[in-house]
Structure 1
């Protein structure tokens, strides 16, 4: 079916009245990632990741010059994290393993037992509290040593990742039954190599992002094959990948604008989903054609989009037991035409896609410049996935709202109400959505946004030495949804009481022991 026909079939504005209670087997969870919460960046044998390297060498690239050296200190405070999960009543907890905490250099000749102990303790505590671990092997934190060897541009990284994954399956797979290879490949490749938005922070448009994606898809497929051949039957688990996209809202109802929406979705979602979930496999034909044609016009000897062999296409196709999908926002799109043809470098991913993305200023803002609220977008995306890929099992593995740390976070609560309701509309339409994970368990280090942009259900006081966590209104609201398995549109709970840790208290905490010690010495001298 052509993408022109698909876009005609896509319901862009219709409203669907679906069931308003979540199915009995629907799973609720929350998500986090290692670098954003763990801290202890160089403690107990952990190696340096590309994010450690970026924040230490280029602190100016972080909005508030903060970093993840301590973050939420979950390496030491994971007991409290488990308590929070129990308070929420979630079925499952999605977290990532820090590759460098297990293998400090990313290479399997050196394994860090303290890192293994940390994840064993967390996994065991989750299971003891009837919370299912949902483990992501890679959430953006490549070992710096591997980056120095070329990172995801180097095909050797495929084997290194498989080596790491094999160790994880053998070490944790007796208890972990849900695995994700990669979180958000678009961010790993487009925002890290194409544009300086994520670590390692390269600005090299048009070539390395496609090499990165190609190697990452092969790493995913080879890792899934490894799991299926040697571990899945004995361990009884499932393995998949988490993709991401915003909804591409056509600027108008014109054929050109609707085609721009479809082109955008094929370049963003289809780039990784088409090789895995489509009937024929391989990259979307529109990517193959456009990048190949532009490459020829630009004087390249071959297409900048690498080519899979027939065997690789077969290996990648159907290499996921489920599709994890992350989405937060939507943006407007129209075609790149003669009037604005020069706004993007040539070559570049944006020029190849032929689409201009821009915010709709009528949609509500958040604390993140890239993020506006448009609940219908998540319904449209889930519906598009159902039609494009024959309705795979989907978990919404990330969805959440950013603010500046409000305890009574009414905007976040309203966001969850509307977005989860839109998920239910998609379920009512027949989408195989099996679960929903809120992002995130608590405020954390939000990448280039530092700790200014906060997505947490729990407030984290980053000034407090204990990184105190406190329930916001949204945590109580989400717990109510999980308990009742439906959305109370009228509910707006009050947050727990908490007085932020002040700078004066911090000084006092440090100074008091010094004063007491001085007084003891003074009294001792008076007496003796």
Structure 2
């Protein structure tokens, strides 16, 4: 009986090591030079919001509003206290055996006024110390220059909707390259332009400012792309020869699955992919917005009585400035949606969504997470990577965020492990069968942190953080131990082949 039970257990373990939630898992190892890492962002983890000369940023301002727009009136005033506990953060990263750490720089910690006339040396020293600690532990820093936390001084002047932002960003980027570039080889200019512009200025909630649908997101994106390009050109001309780094941008969005096999729904998928990913990649690769965006927005703008399109146009000089300005492409991917064309003759609706002519939704039967927007659909990861690889050949890519949320930060987080396994299996399939050129993967997030409007109500961390403890005690979850094994074996199941 004992021997037969042992055999049954062996078969069971073997079965579940190759399957997750009934899905067959890819048992090929990731390449030896493939990098695994973890990520955070400055406002979400640092705390120390008004210490050591740091200026106010837009999230300091938003979270201190009365009444607060944040769930449970949460703030990032202390957050995970990573400003003081960065060595503990690095020890956690080392414990998991990651190859790199993706983090962002707080603009207002380095330039308190938002302008480069005053550099806060204590802020600079903090990031130097973090980078030094990472390198001492053989962890590569991957640094995002802008991750949502604009200095409030610049937000008061219109933020990214004001084209004066372009040169202010280039000034900040120059300070970053000058102060940290000798020790940083991977730079990301912007995290999630779509979120910054569409959620921030179109819908209004990411900035907790007045919404400007159909106009604000296009102004923001036009300025962001020009700022990215000018920063890339500046790095290329002033720093690359000495520092030999790589500079990219991180984009984000859902995979949009056609709701049926009809040509109309396939067209809807392509349209929304172009309005989401092509919105930013197309100008960088080809010098201009996707044709379907230009056609739709120009047409609707004219019907609505605008004297010119709500989607700005690049000058010929700007086309040449922007085209070719990335060394790699970061992809933040979490979920998917179903789509169909939305036939409507109503032109009174001035909005990005109406411009797409597409409606999207997530079926109730898809597996849920702790976030209403994050439904689990692993095969969407492969489909998105395949689409990107097909449409933008020759660009190296890295997954800069992928993760799963719950609401209680439980330590026995088997659903998070299953999510990682199934998504990584599809990512490996994209590399193996679709020829996608992918060089790294980043788990979001290293630890539970401040999730913007949702405060601390959603937990994405590999490490649990006790936000009721003054010490912000960190405890590894089961997923951290699983991820540690992944980083060392390059394998998502127990028994891998080369």
Find the partner of 1:320 among 301, 313, 326: 326
**Is the CA contact (8 Å cut-off) linking 1:51 and 1:141 kept in structure 2?**
yes
Matched residue SS, 1:357 = strand
Matched residue SS, 1:217 = helix
Find the partner of 2:133 among 119, 122, 125: 125
Cα gap change, 1:21/1:58 in structure 2, threshold over 3 Å: closer, same or farther? farther
Query: Is residue 2:89 matched to residue 1:81?
Result: yes
- Report the equivalent of 1:289: 295
Query: Is residue 2:425 matched to residue 1:417?
Result: no
- Report the equivalent of 1:254: 262
- Displacement of 1:164: 0.7
Matched residue SS, 2:64 = helix
- Report the equivalent of 1:477: 482
Q: Which deviates further from its counterpart, 64-73 or 134-143?
A: 64-73
Matched residue SS, 1:420 = helix
* Map 1:69-108 → 2, pairs under 5 A: 69-108=77-116
* Map 1:74-473 → 2, pairs under 5 A: 74-277=82-285, 280-338=286-344, 346-404=349-407, 405-428=409-432, 429-473=434-478
Q: How many residues align?
A: 472
Matched residue SS, 1:60 = coil
Cα gap change, 1:298/1:16 in structure 2, threshold over 3 Å: closer, same or farther? farther
- Displacement of 1:197: 2.5
**Is the CA contact (8 Å cut-off) linking 1:104 and 1:111 kept in structure 2?**
yes
**Is the CA contact (8 Å cut-off) linking 2:105 and 2:143 kept in structure 1?**
yes
Cα gap change, 1:40/1:59 in structure 2, threshold over 3 Å: closer, same or farther? farther
C-alpha distance in 1 between matches for 2:492 and 2:179:
39
The TM-score with structure 1 as length reference comes to 0.87
- Displacement of 1:469: 0.4
**Is the CA contact (8 Å cut-off) linking 2:62 and 2:68 kept in structure 1?**
no
**Is the CA contact (8 Å cut-off) linking 1:417 and 1:489 kept in structure 2?**
no
C-alpha distance in 2 between matches for 1:377 and 1:269:
14
C-alpha distance in 2 between matches for 1:248 and 1:91:
31
The TM-score with structure 2 as length reference comes to 0.93
Cα gap change, 1:399/1:311 in structure 2, threshold over 3 Å: closer, same or farther? same
- Report the equivalent of 1:512: none
**Is the CA contact (8 Å cut-off) linking 2:27 and 2:495 kept in structure 1?**
no
Cα gap change, 1:455/1:362 in structure 2, threshold over 3 Å: closer, same or farther? same
- Displacement of 1:16: 11
- Displacement of 1:19: 6.8
Matched residue SS, 1:121 = helix
Give CA-to-partner distance per residue, 1:135-183, whole Å, 9 cap, x none.
0000001100001111111111111111111011010001011100000
**Is the CA contact (8 Å cut-off) linking 2:25 and 2:422 kept in structure 1?**
no
- Report the equivalent of 1:4: none
Query: Is residue 2:41 matched to residue 1:33?
Result: yes
- Displacement of 1:63: 2.0
Give CA-to-partner distance per residue, 1:239-291, whole Å, 9 cap, x none.
000000111011111111111111000000000010112xx320001111110
Q: What root-mean-square deviation, in Å, do the aligned CA atoms of Structure 1 and Structure 2 show?
A: 1.6
Give CA-to-partner distance per residue, 1:197-217, whole Å, 9 cap, x none.
201433111111100000000
C-alpha distance in 1 between matches for 2:150 and 2:67:
18
C-alpha distance in 2 between matches for 1:376 and 1:276:
27
Query: Is residue 2:69 matched to residue 1:61?
Result: yes
